[in-house]
Chains A and B, each alone.
Chain A
Amino acid sequence: MSAGKAAAAIVGSGSTPYYFRGESAPQTLLELVDKAIFAAVADAGLTIDEVDGLAFYAFGFDTAMIIEQLGLKNVTFAHCVSSFGSGMAGMLDLAAMGVATGRAKTIVCVGATQQVGRRVGQALGSFAASPDNIFHRIAGLQGPGQALALQVRRHMHKYGTRREAFGEVVMSSRANAATRETAFRRKPLTLEEYIASPMLADPLCRLDFCLENDGALAFVVTSAERAADMPQKPVYIAGASQVGTSDLGRAFFWFGQSEDMFTTAGAGPTAERLYALTGYRPEDIDVALIYDHFSPLVIMQLEDYGFCKRGEGGPFVESGAIRMGGTIPVNPHGGHLSDAYVVGMTHIREAVEQLRGVAVNQVPGAKTALVTGGPAPTPMTGAILRNER
């Protein structure tokens, strides 16, 4: 996936409704997945029989069960990016590779979460104890937010980043969600309200933590040639990168990152490769869909992706740069913080809507969109989408 004409495009986008955590029951997780696939295929003007590929991340789903339930007869590509939410954008890379190499013609990318009886926010505590994770158990770090709080504190210590900057990320997200009927947190937020929010994992307060939702989304990827004749305006995959490095390793599951990496979101090498593959620079990106499980990690990713200098992410967001109309509008849909959390999938949906020109909060004339995978264990992934081939 490199500079020049794109080989693949997203031609269909489908979603279930977003539910408050646990409220999608009694539907099963795979039922949600199936519904999202049906919706995406319909959006693409195709029938389910034409699906011959599946691409996943975050350990994926039971491929055989999906094939059984949907009655698929000839799946010639079924692959998964080997990381957590960090692999979200890499799923688009898999799909693009699949169609570019002729492995399959119609690949559906799928992501979903259902938090019945278990919560993503307590994921670390739900793993079986092992020689390598027992120290997190002793420390009392149950979830990603608690663990990432240690990295965030170090960023504040090293660069003087302020809580006001985290608050601006949340306020900006809330302002965007205000106009979105389906968003879960739409009430505008003031800095005073933000500062008064109770600490959950100091320096992270309750409002720094994203939503926890149930839902499923799916995207149909096919070749750019075929996309030209399909009903929806194609959203081309300009490039996607996946980078694993021992400088990051298991990230906050580990805390053994290199000294420089500890105060980043871990996306620097992924960003560098993505820009090299596509020939784009940060200034070429019209809208950024940044994985926002915790508000300070948006700031760290903005640094990783070069929208500002290392350590200057706090002042950058406090200047209003990520608002609609700012230097780089971030998450016009409200993101995981205010719209809904489905492990990054809602960010791809928003990128597609922005590039089709039909987003609720449309960035005028948006031609390029960045989508980032979640700061989590390596490999980290990112993708750039565009609406001109």
Chain B
Amino acid sequence: MSALSIRPDFSALEIPMDSWSEPFWQAGAQGRVVMPRCITCGTFRWPAGPFCPACHTQDVEWVDAGQARIYSFTVLPVRGADKEAPPDYRVPTLVTFDNAPGVRLVSVLVDAPVDQVAIGAEVTVEWVKGANAVLPVFRLDG
């Protein structure tokens, strides 16, 4: 499995947004990863939503999430029309952020040597084109 994980084509994917999640996507358009932090108690909430689960404040401030690290992942074989051909691999990956404790973001790890993916590895968020917004995927650092 030394192949590179696939880089899916998201160009037709519509990103549904609501008033609470929109700032995440707007920051992404500028290449930034931000997460919503409660202005009263500092608890992060994810996905973005109307109330802080800890103190029930509504307002948040969006802060830079910091370095992303792999919390867990799986490896999915992806087969084309030829079922006998060796599969490609898609790597759904869950990351944490150094500056947003409690938040876990799941997306896909692209262009990664599949046998070198490991819990704890540092990754960078790359923003790629969707139908109506850019969306975050992960790449291994280094």
Residue numbers of A with Cβ under 8 A of B are 129-132, 134-141, 146-147, 149-151, 153-154, 157, 198-204, 246, 255-256
Contact = CB atoms under 8 A, between A and B. Distances in A.
Contact of B74 (A131, A134, A137, A146): A146
Contacts of B106: 135-136, 138-139, 141, 150, 255
B16 interface: yes
A255 to B, nearest CB: 5
Contacts of B108: 138-140
26 contacts: A129-B14, A129-B16, A131-B16, A131-B18, A131-B20, A131-B47, A131-B48, A132-B47, A138-B10, A138-B13, A138-B106, A138-B108, A138-B137, A139-B106, A140-B8, A140-B76, A150-B72, A153-B72, A157-B72, A198-B77, A199-B75, A201-B75, A202-B74, A202-B75, A202-B76, A256-B103
A150 B94 contact: yes
| CB-CB nearest 5 A-B residue pairs | A139-B92, A149-B74, A202-B75, A150-B72, A131-B21
A138 B126 CA distance: 13
Nearest to B114: A202
B111 to A, nearest CB: 15
Given A135-B106, A140-B8, A157-B72, 13 more contacts: A134-B15, A134-B16, A135-B47, A138-B10, A138-B13, A138-B106, A139-B107, A140-B90, A150-B92, A151-B72, A154-B119, A201-B74, A201-B75
A149 B46 CA distance: 21
Contacts of B42: none
A298 B81 CA distance: 35
A59 to B, nearest CB: 22
Interface in B118-134: 119
B53 A140 contact: no
Interface in B42-88: 46-49, 53, 71-77
B135 interface: yes
B74 to A, nearest CB: 4
A134 B76 CA distance: 18
A198 B74 CA distance: 14
Contacts of A201: 74-76
Nearest to A150: B72
A134 B107 CA distance: 9
Contacts of B76: 140, 146, 200-202
Contacts of B14: 129
A138 B135 contact: yes
A256 B46 contact: yes
